[in-house]
């Protein structure tokens, strides 16, 4: 007798998404989302004398609007999540006394070794790199010159915050500045702002069209 879990895992993924799409289109959730999209998050373009908006362009714009709302919200969540992770990393360095090359600690010591966010930030974030230094990288640069690139080894390299940059680091990477209230406000305000934009955009375009006609020679 076949295991239901095995059957589910071996099922054709395309058929699963087709079934999901069918359920979504006929569900109350799908109807609510379609209603709000058509009522509040779609721009109803009109006929203009001096320019035109094709049906294809209108469809593209109206498809972008929901994606824009979702993208802004996801970006807000990701920003707070990443920033709080970096703030914890900086706080850990200070708590462990990693304030000089000699007292530098590894990512294993800070518990951030598995964090792809911290690794990426240590390589690319200019603000973080100004206050968090890598001991091995500084030694390499002192021997080979600042024009030489150094590849950080996250398995064994040591990181520290110079004593004279400690206050600056704590101020710059204060977790109190990265609250989930920002996300809540983004979730609430973004649809409102976009909805108002969609509501008044036809009037703005009509006004622009009238002004062009008025000032045209």
One-letter-per-residue 3-state SS of 42-75? CCCCCCCCCCCCCHHHHHHHHHHHHHHHHHHHHH
pTM listed for this prediction: 0.68
* Distance spanning both ends of the chain, measured CA to CA: 82
pLDDT per position as a tens digit, 205-214 = 999 999 998 8
Scanning the structure block, which residue is given the tokens 């500045």? 177
pLDDT per position as a tens digit, 3-44 = 544 444 444 555 666 676 666 667 786 778 788 888 889 999
Mean of pLDDT over the chain: 86
pLDDT at 90 over 80: yes
* pLDDT for 65: 93
Residue 212 CA to residue 49 CA, distance in Å, equals 9
pLDDT per position as a tens digit, 130-154 = 999 999 999 998 888 766 688 999 9
Q: How far is CA 106 from CA 6, 131, 137, 155, in A?
A: 42, 16, 13, 7
Structural contact between residues 160 and 103, judged by C-beta atoms closer than 8 angstroms? yes
Structural contact between residues 90 and 110, judged by C-beta atoms closer than 8 angstroms? no
pLDDT per position as a tens digit, 40-58 = 899 999 888 898 889 999 9
Helix, strand, or coil (residue 197): helix
């Amino acid at each position: 007798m076949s295991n239901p879990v095995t059957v589910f895992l071996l099922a054709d993924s395309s058929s699963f998404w087709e079934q999901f799409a069918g359920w979504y289109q006929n569900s109350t959730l799908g109807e609510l989302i379609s209603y709000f999209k058509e009522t509040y998050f779609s721009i109803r373009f009109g006929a203009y004398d001096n320019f035109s908006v094709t049906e294809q362009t209108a469809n593209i714009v109206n498809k972008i609007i929901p994606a824009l709302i979702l993208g802004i919200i996801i970006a807000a969540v990701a920003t707070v999540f990443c920033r709080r992770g970096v703030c914890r990393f900086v706080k850990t360095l200070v708590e462990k006394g990693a304030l000089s090359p000699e007292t530098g600690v590894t990512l294993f010591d800070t518990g951030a070794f598995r964090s792809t966010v911290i690794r990426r930030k240590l390589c690319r974030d200019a603000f973080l790199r100004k206050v968090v230094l890598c001991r091995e990288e500084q030694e390499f640069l002192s021997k080979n010159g600042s024009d030489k690139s150094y590849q950080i080894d996250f398995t064994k390299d040591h990181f520290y915050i110079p004593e004279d940059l400690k206050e600056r680091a704590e101020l710059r990477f204060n977790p109190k500045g990265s609250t989930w209230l920002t996300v809540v406000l983004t979730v609430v305000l973004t649809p409102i702002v976009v909805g108002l934009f969609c509501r008044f955009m036809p009037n703005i375009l009509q006004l622009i069209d009238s002004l062009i006609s008025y000032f045209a020679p």
